[in-house]
């Protein structure tokens, strides 16, 4: 080449640009690989969690169904128990007003009922009488009553008129005892129910 001519290179310099493009390409590929790995891992993690949630949901649904069945059985048992209780009360309840009226009507003159208790188809009655003869007469009346299966005299005790009464009110009762008698009566429940139905 002659010495006076300048060194002119008209060809473009591609070597440096080619190196930069390659580096950018590599970086993009790495980023895409990272993104692919990230989304793949997220997919599998989410799928695993979804499977676990579905399993838990199915187990909870099964427990809810079992609880519904148990609640239904409890409701049925309570309803059955309530019905049985009502039936028991209906079968064992007696029309006490009719029975007490009968006990009072059978009393001799100058006698009266003091106490009355009912339990398990038996009645315990305490009455006051003037004489032992009236006690015997009342016992006979109770025995023949259609509302009584059996009559038992448990206790007969004497007592006097209370001392607090004024002298003019005592009169002849100072020397005449009264008799407190306890009876145990077995009740004819069916007869009493029949009498209650007739009254209605």
Helical H runs in the chain?
15-92, 96-105, 132-144, 167-170, 189-199
Buried b (16+ CB within 10 A) or exposed e, 157-195: eeeeeeeeeeeeeeeeeeeeebbbbbbebebbbebbbeb
Query: Strand order in 178-187's β-sheet?
Result: 112-119, 122-129, 178-187, 148-159
Nearest alpha-carbon partner for 149 in 99, 117, 92, 187: 187
Q: What is the pTM of this model?
A: 0.49
pLDDT tens track for 130-162: 999 999 999 999 999 998 989 999 999 988 765
pLDDT tens track for 13-60: 555 556 778 888 889 999 999 998 998 888 888 888 888 888 888 888
152's enclosing H/E stretch is: strand 148-159
Distance CA 115, CA 95 (A): 17
pLDDT band at 197 (very low <50, low <70, confident <90, very high): low
198 vs 57, 84, 89, CA distance in Å? Answer: 64, 26, 20
Question: What end-to-end distance do the CA atoms of the chain give, in Å?
Answer: 147
pLDDT band at 73 (very low <50, low <70, confident <90, very high): confident
């Amino acid at each position: 080449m002659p010495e006076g001519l300048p060194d002119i290179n008209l060809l473009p310099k591609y070597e440096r640009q080619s190196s930069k493009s390659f580096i950018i390409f590599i970086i993009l590929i790495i980023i895409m690989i990272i993104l692919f790995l990230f989304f793949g891992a997220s997919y599998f993690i989410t799928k695993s969690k979804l499977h676990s949630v579905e399993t838990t949901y199915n187990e909870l649904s099964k427990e809810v169904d079992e609880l519904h069945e148990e609640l239904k059985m409890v409701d049925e048992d309570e309803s059955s128990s309530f019905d049985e209780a009502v039936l028991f009360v209906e079968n064992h309840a007696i029309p006490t007003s009719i029975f007490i009226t009968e006990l009072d009507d059978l009393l001799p003159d100058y006698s009266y009922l003091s106490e009355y208790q009912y339990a398990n188809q038996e009645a315990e009655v305490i009455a006051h009488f003037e004489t032992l003869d009236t006690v015997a007469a009342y016992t006979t009346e109770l025995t023949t009553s259609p509302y009584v299966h059996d009559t038992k005299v448990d206790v007969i005790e004497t007592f006097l008129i209370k001392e607090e009464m004024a002298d003019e009110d005592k009169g002849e009762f100072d020397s005449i005892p009264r008799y407190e008698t306890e009876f145990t009566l077995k009740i004819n429940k069916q007869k009493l129910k029949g009498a209650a139905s007739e009254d209605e």
